[in-house]
Amino acid sequence: MSKGHRSQIKKARNAETNAAKMPMATAKYQMVSAQKAQFVLNLIRGKSVKEADAILLYQPQKAARIARKVLLSAVANAENNKGMNKDELVVAYATANQGPILKRIRARAKGRAYRIEKKTSHISIGVDNK
């Protein structure tokens, strides 16, 4: 049995199929946590591509630099593969999913060891016409 009401399941399934049709770009295994990347992506979701690029250009976060590269790649995919006009594009889909966690050990006093978890994320951005 799947969880949720029938309408919720349909909404999730339709969102996935619509996301597959729009031009997208993904950066996988990026060394930034998904939570930190999601803060940056929330700023650009629903904005025009020109406005989103300006926002990402002047954000100080590491995730903003990565997201800007992904955004420009998604725009290039839209122009070259789908024949869309760059000026009419908006950021329709922007998400950061958790990637694998790199586990490292840090030596501590009295022979102890602490675990360091280096989190990674997969950043995806999709663009669509207005």
| pLDDT > 70 fraction of the chain, expressed in percent and rounded | 92
Q: What is the C-alpha to C-alpha distance for residues 65 and 57, in angstroms, rounded to an integer?
A: 7
- pTM recorded for the entire structure: 0.81
**Residues 84-107: pLDDT tens digits?**
999 999 999 999 999 999 999 999
CB 90 within 8 A of CB 128: yes
